[in-house]
Each structure stands twice: as C-alpha cells, then as structure tokens.
Structure 1
Amino acid sequence: MTNLANKVAVVTGGNSGIGLATAREFVAQGASVIITGRKQAAIDTAVSELGSTVAGILSDTSDLDQIDNLVESVKTRYGLVDILFINAGVASFSPISQVNEQHFDEIMNVNFKGAFFTLNKFIPLLKEGASVIFLSSINATSGMPNTAVYAASKAAVHSLVKVASTELAAKKIRVNAVSPGPINTPIFGKTGLDQASLQGFATAMQDRIPLKRFGASEEVAKLVSFLASDDATFITGSEYVIDGGINVNPVLS
C-alpha cells in the first residue's frame, strides 16, 4: 500500500517510541519523512534504520528558536508539508502537593507550549488539505493520581485541536488527536519511577485493561497513518482513543 505516496510528513520526536514507529509506517506508505529529536545520536540511528527517504533534524520542541530553525530547514528542503505529527512529549509523575515549578515547566514547555508553537510556526508550510495529528493521552481525562501536570498538558492539547480544526478548516486542513492508553514505549522509563515502582505500575495497569496487555507503538502508528491519509478527509476536530478498552471501566468485570 502507498496511501501516502508523494506526501511530505514531519514527525516531532520521531527517533523513538510511537514517533519512530509512525515514521516507519509513513515510509512504508510512501511518504518522505522528516523526524526530529533532542539527541543527534538517536536521530542518526533512527535515520539509518528508516532509510534514504528520511531526514533527521536536531530540534528541541521546548525551544522556540529551534522550532524556527526546523521550519526553515523543512521549507528550504521540501517546500510545503502534507502531514504534521506533533508527537514529541515528556512524562513525569508527582502528587499535586509535591509539584514544583521546574516539574511544571519541563512538562508544559514540551507537551503544550512546544506543541502549540510547532503548529503555529508550521501553518504557513501546510498544504491545502494537509493533516495535523497531535499525540495526546487518555490521562487528559482519566483523573489518574500523580499525573496532574502531565494530564493538564494533554487536556490543553485537546482544546487546541478543537480550536485549530475550526481556524484551519478554510484551507481544508484537518486537525485531530490520538490518545493512547498504556503503550510499551521508552517514555515509561523516563517518568522518574524506580524499577520496582515501574513494574508495580505496569502490573496494576495491565490488570485493568480489558484486553489484558499493553499496546504496541506500531498499533498507534497505524491509526496515525490512517488520519494522515486521504481516507480520512472528512475527519477533523476529533480525538481517537486507542487504549485496549481501559477507559470503559466497567463496574463489574
């Protein structure tokens, strides 16, 4: 299948996890892909794996100057963009009573401020009929303890999707969000939890998932690829949950 043939796609945070899996899927569907990341070595490894139709650009989503440089680099090399997957994100967990300003700013600067200005600065490069997809999370609405700042950052993304979908509709640009539940990605190892806590968290979470397993990055990538394609031209302003049914939360099971 080549549903994305002749399309140009940008994937922020495309050097690992869901971003890498999505970049791989975009390539398989025929797109030319630009991935970003904060570590050159990780970008180089990903580009080497993904092949010659992929370019890697060092760019920290929390730094607006670096977003400007990214946009200029993409404009110079590719001109306009068909697909923008705003995926870069961070996660760390803490009770509200223990959150400090550094914790708050680190999450918001990447997950919301960075996501907002990535869209803001890419708008002039988006083709008519382009697709913008934000990576959100079921945490935006789940009320899970210790995730207040992370959850708020993703809830803000949901609001942005709604507004952007109306503002950009005149150019037939579609804006949607994908909200994964528990997915096996490296981000879990960056939450600040020790190994024992991570294992306990994973076990408890898996027991609550009706399908009794974590999702795979490749499964999320398939959904993102669909929303990026011309098969989804009447879909905008929507959130797509991919969580193995954990949000169903039955009273009895």
Structure 2
Amino acid sequence: MAVLKDKVAVVTGGSSGIGLATARAFRDEGAKVFITGRRKDALDAAVAELGASVTGAVCDVSVPAELDAFYETVRGQAGRIDVLVANAGIGTVAPFGEVTEDLIDSIFAINVKGTIFTLQQALPLLSANASVILTSSTAATRPNQGLEVYAASKAAVRNLARGWALSSRAQGFRVNVVSPGATRTAGLLELITPEMLKETEGVVPLGRLAEPEEIAAVTTFLASDASSYVNGAEFSADGGYAQV
C-alpha cells in the first residue's frame, strides 16, 4: 500500500541530490509532489524524469516573494500541503581565518532564513496533522574543519524544529528533523576532494557514504502516518558517524 496516497507534498531543493531522491520516493508512495530549485535546467530535468505527478517551480527560498509565488501555484493546483520538506540548502568550504561576510550571508540566507520562511509562508496551506520535515546535518553536532559556518547554520535548523514543535500545537502539525551524514550527491562530490572522500568513508562506522535514497527513506517515514506521534525529534541517518 502506498503510504502517501492522496497526500500533497512539497520538497524544496528537490531538483537534485537528497531532495530529488525524496521527491521520487514520495511520488512512488502515491503523493502529488511539488518541488523547487534555483536552477531552471536542473529543475526541468528533474520534472521530466519524475513525470506528471510532480510539478516544479524555480524558487530561491531565501527570497520571500519567490516563496509566495510558489505557494500560490500549490494553492491553485492542490489547495493544501500535507507534507512539507524544507530541504533546500548550500554548503561551502572555508578554512577558519578565510571566512568572508558574503559566505556567512549566503549560507545563512538559504539554510536558516530560507527554512524559516519556507514554513512560515506555508502555514495557511498546511492541513490538519501535516508533517513538516527539516533537513539538518550531522555537521550540526560534529562539524568538520572548513565547514564551521555550514555546521552552525544546520545547528540553527535543529533548534528551529525544537521551537516549532512546541508552537505548532494550535494548528496541529508536527515538525521533525532528518540529519544526513555524508551522502553521495553531486553537491558533495564537488565540495570535497577524492582524498577527503576516502577519509570520510574511513571514519563512518558503516564504512561508506549514504546513498540519497537511504536518506529519502527516513524522510518518507516521517512524512507518513506511521510517524504520527513523532514530534520535535531528530533522525540521524549517518551510518553511525555522529553517534559513536
């Protein structure tokens, strides 16, 4: 049985990597899916792959006006949101001592400000008992050198979920967090060198990187009614990296 049958789902940053795998999993589980991405070419390719049950919209989540336009599309085509995955995010390596103001502004604009407005502007569309899922990172609790600013932004995402899990009571939705470890995506492979990749695999207790589909499986559980009493929780999908 499709666990998301007849649900309406939104996945920001859904044109590649973990977001694309999540959109694919949601589609396969029966959901009508809306995805966003900043690059039209990647978004068009994702929609072409995923098919008619998935709608894409170019949207930079750090720009509230673009989120408003996106949610008007969702309102017009579906009228509600049952599952909201605030997944859009960026990371940049910058050794301590070389961090710039522009780097801080760009990372926090998308990872923190974007997450805040992704949920806040969706509030009028959230259905009763909606599931909201935020994508953080194991870097939030175990940051690597050069990724301190990224890690700080993802720690902020984790704490947003704690607060929202309390304040969401009146409307009835729940908020949880998925914190992936190193995952085999194009974004990660562009960010780190082959030597760093091998080193990362060596320190993960399972001895390998995650595949995007493995993270999507955790998100699908949190999106489904099987997790109806899970709220304010963090699910670490990291092969044990930040756990031992």
TM-score, length of structure 2 as denominator length: 0.97
CA distance in 1, matches of 2:3, 2:32: 12
User: Per-residue CA shift, 1:92-126, capped at 9, x if unaligned?
Assistant: 01123110111101111110111111111001110
- Please give the secondary structure, in 1, of the residue aligned with 2:208: coil
CA distance in 2, matches of 1:69, 1:103: 27
Residue 235 of structure 2 corresponds to residue 226 of structure 1: no
AA at the equivalent of 1:130: A
2:186 maps to: 186
1:85 maps to: 85
2:203 maps to: 208
CA distance in 2, matches of 1:203, 1:95: 20
1:149 CA displacement: 0.9
CA distance in 1, matches of 2:243, 2:65: 42
AA at the equivalent of 1:226: F
CA distance in 2, matches of 1:176, 1:68: 23
- Please give the secondary structure, in 2, of the residue aligned with 1:247: coil
AA at the equivalent of 2:183: I
CA distance in 1, matches of 2:242, 2:148: 18
- Please give the secondary structure, in 2, of the residue aligned with 1:163: helix
- Which sits farther off after the overlay, 56-65 or 131-140? 56-65
CA distance in 1, matches of 2:145, 2:190: 17
CA RMSD in angstroms comes to 1.1
1:41 CA displacement: 1.6
Asked if the contact 1:92/1:190 (under 8 Å) is kept, the reply is: no
- Please give the secondary structure, in 2, of the residue aligned with 1:142: coil
1:75 CA displacement: 1.2
1:128 maps to: 128
1:189 CA displacement: 3.8
Asked if the contact 1:35/1:57 (under 8 Å) is kept, the reply is: yes
Aligned length in residues: 244
AA at the equivalent of 1:87: N
Asked if the contact 1:129/1:173 (under 8 Å) is kept, the reply is: yes
CA distance in 2, matches of 1:104, 1:246: 26
Residue identity (%): 43
1:145 CA displacement: 1.4
1:144 maps to: 144
Asked if the contact 1:91/1:190 (under 8 Å) is kept, the reply is: no
TM-score, length of structure 1 as denominator length: 0.94
Gaps of 5+ in 1: none
CA distance in 1, matches of 2:234, 2:93: 23
* Higher fraction of helix: 1
Gaps of 5+ in 2: none
- Please give the secondary structure, in 2, of the residue aligned with 1:96: coil
